[in-house]
């Protein structure tokens, strides 16, 4: 890649220029990204698009101040201009981060040159139509189906003044299907994703059929949903369904930027018991094929497996280069950015709880009354307090140790540290779920996961008396 985007000697001169103007640390991040997407809505092709974006972000650090500039001009002249701008900002001091966006030079063409996909567009549309047919065949109650397919190829390199000079080639493929079922009580929705850091081989007909039928079945089942109970109840999280809860409720609070700003309930608690002894929480960028996989992070550090909580004891936080540098330690491979136009920050990759040794069916059987959560929706968390609210998009009542009636969408309300203490059973049926994590205006792909587990009590925001 360095031969096709920016030459090795040019990178060396740009880094030397940045340091020669007073920088203590300099970094060049070069990225070339191509994307394509297709959407079928109500059996009609509504979107078929592709695009390409490439450029470079240059970061210069002086003391506590970071200067950053990005440019779509990858000529030596364009990179030098960005390096000068970033260096000037860094030397002004005052701490903090200030960004400068450089527009394209007049002689730089902004028209992208798109590389053809290895998979014909007609084949992609055929797969979308197949999913649509499968979903509609599940029953006449299915009245709306939307299917989307997207893929991206991201090549990037990182070169910095500490001698790091590495490149990566990431290919991600995602397939989503949403269904609406209509009945006497109104409309209900179902949703299934397929996603991985893999190519089109991810989307086998069997996988697409399973996702389509699953989304339709979920929507149809919810037509018989009853109001959810309210109050503090035991909750069983199905394998893979609850990982997002721990990603939000405690994962963000274990990122070093929140820790160093003392904006996390976990600040200063390394070595302390913060969870049930059944909880071991890991962030692992090395899980090949998963949505949050990375060979190297966006600062050029190798992806790694980081144990954050082990048997209930807080062992470490997640670190990027700047936060680790400040504390005199090494990055944990968690420096990530949305694109070359963004500064890297501490971000999760694949965050999951290790499986236990209980049987998933037995966990349900040993729960006299509670709520079984098959799928969580979006949520919000306050990292300073750990308080959270999550939507439950697929949940069922547990009565006499059996999963019974489906429940209408409702909320799961609680506190991260308290929920970690309330884990009293963890099964062996571990699975992962893909997702997108937003933080400070940037979005990156992540994975979450866990085995079936029981929480002794969580507040359910239902409407049933």
**Whether residues 252 and 370 fall in one domain:** yes
Whole-prediction pTM value?
A: 0.91
Choosing from 175, 207, 224, the residue where a domain stops is 224
Q: Is 325 within a domain?
A: yes
Q: What is the pLDDT of residue 8?
A: 82
Predicted confidence band of residue 188 (pLDDT cuts 50, 70, 90) = very high
Predicted confidence band of residue 109 (pLDDT cuts 50, 70, 90) = very low
Q: What is the pLDDT of residue 97?
A: 42
Query: With left for phi above 0 and alpha for psi between -120 and 50, is residue 234 left, alpha or beta?
Result: beta
Tell me: pLDDT of 272 over 80: yes
Q: Is 2 within a domain?
A: no
Predicted confidence band of residue 114 (pLDDT cuts 50, 70, 90) = very low
Q: Is 213 within a domain?
A: yes
Q: Find the domain containing 331 and state its range.
A: 231-461
Rounded-to-integer distance, Cα 259 and Cα 255, Å? 6
Q: Quick: pLDDT tens for 295-312.
A: 999 999 999 999 999 999
Rounded-to-integer distance, Cα 434 and Cα 198, Å? 13
Domain count, the chain: 2
**Whether residues 427 and 342 fall in one domain:** yes
**Whether residues 170 and 296 fall in one domain:** no
Q: Is 38 within a domain?
A: yes
Q: Quick: pLDDT tens for 275-285.
A: 999 999 999 99
Predicted confidence band of residue 94 (pLDDT cuts 50, 70, 90) = low
**Whether residues 318 and 439 fall in one domain:** yes
**Whether residues 210 and 248 fall in one domain:** no
Tell me: pLDDT of 3 over 60: no
**Whether residues 213 and 252 fall in one domain:** no
**For position 99, which CATH number holds?**
3.30.2290.10
Q: Is 3 within a domain?
A: no
Choosing from 206, 224, 242, the residue where a domain stops is 224
Reading the block at residue 245, the tokens are 């809860």
**Whether residues 28 and 168 fall in one domain:** yes
Tell me: pLDDT of 365 over 80: yes
Q: What is the pLDDT of residue 261?
A: 94
Mean pLDDT, rounded, for 395-400:
96
**Whether residues 384 and 303 fall in one domain:** yes
Tell me: pLDDT of 242 over 90: no
Crossing angle of helices 76-92/8-20, nearest 10°? 20
Q: Is 1 within a domain?
A: no
Choosing from 168, 192, 224, the residue where a domain stops is 224
Q: In this predicted model, which residue has the larger pLDDT, 2 or 233?
A: 233
**Whether residues 205 and 331 fall in one domain:** no
Tell me: pLDDT of 314 over 90: yes
C-beta separation of 194 from 447 below 8 A: no
**Whether residues 192 and 307 fall in one domain:** no
């Amino acid at each position: 890649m360095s031969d096709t985007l920016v030459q090795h000697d040019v990178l060396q001169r740009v880094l030397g220029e940045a340091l020669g103007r007073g920088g203590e640390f300099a970094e060049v991040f070069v990225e070339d990204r191509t994307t394509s997407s297709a959407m079928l809505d109500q059996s009609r092709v509504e979107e078929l698009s592709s695009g390409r974006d490439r450029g470079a972000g240059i970061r210069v650090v002086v003391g506590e101040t970071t200067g950053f500039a990005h440019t779509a001009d990858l000529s030596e002249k364009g990179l030098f201009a960005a390096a000068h701008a970033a260096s000037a900002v860094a030397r002004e001091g005052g701490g903090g981060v200030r960004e400068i966006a450089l527009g394209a030079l007049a002689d730089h063409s902004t028209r992208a040159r798109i590389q053809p996909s290895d998979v014909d567009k007609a084949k992609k549309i055929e797969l979308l139509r197949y999913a649509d047919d499968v979903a509609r065949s599940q029953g006449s109650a299915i009245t709306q189906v939307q299917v989307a397919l997207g893929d991206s190829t991201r090549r990037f390199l990182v070169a910095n003044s500490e001698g790091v000079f590495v490149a990566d080639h990431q290919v991600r493929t995602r397939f989503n299907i949403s269904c609406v079922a209509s009945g006497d009580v109104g409309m209900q929705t179902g949703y299934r994703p397929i996603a991985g850091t893999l190519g089109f081989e991810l989307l086998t007909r069997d996988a697409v059929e399973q996702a389509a039928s699953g989304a339709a079945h979920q929507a149809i089942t919810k037509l018989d949903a009853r109001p959810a109970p309210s109050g503090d109840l035991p909750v069983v999280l199905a394998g893979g369904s609850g990982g997002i809860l721990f990603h939000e409720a405690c994962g963000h609070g274990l990122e070093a930027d929140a820790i160093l700003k003392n904006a996390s309930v976990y600040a200063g608690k390394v070595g302390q018991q913060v969870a049930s002894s059944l909880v071991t929480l890991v962030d692992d960028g090395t899980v090949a094929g998963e949505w949050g996989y990375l060979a190297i992070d966006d600062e050029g550090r190798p992806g790694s497996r980081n144990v954050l909580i082990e048997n209930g004891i807080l062992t470490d936080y997640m670190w990027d280069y700047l936060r680790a540098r400040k504390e005199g330690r090494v990055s944990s491979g968690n420096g990530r950015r949305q694109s070359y136009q963004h500064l890297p920050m501490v971000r999760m990759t694949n965050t999951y709880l290790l499986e236990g040794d209980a049987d998933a069916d037995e966990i349900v059987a040993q729960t006299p009354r509670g709520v079984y959560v098959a799928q969580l929706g979006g949520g919000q968390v306050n990292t300073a307090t750990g308080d959270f609210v999550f939507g439950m998009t697929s949940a069922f009542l547990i009565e006499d140790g059996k999963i019974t009636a489906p429940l209408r969408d409702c909320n799961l309300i609680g506190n991260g540290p308290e929920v970690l203490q309330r884990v009293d059973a963890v099964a062996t049926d571990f699975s992962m779920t893909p997702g997108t994590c937003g933080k400070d205006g940037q979005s990156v792909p992540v994975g979450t996961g866990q085995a079936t587990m029981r929480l002794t009590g969580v507040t359910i925001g239902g409407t049933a008396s």
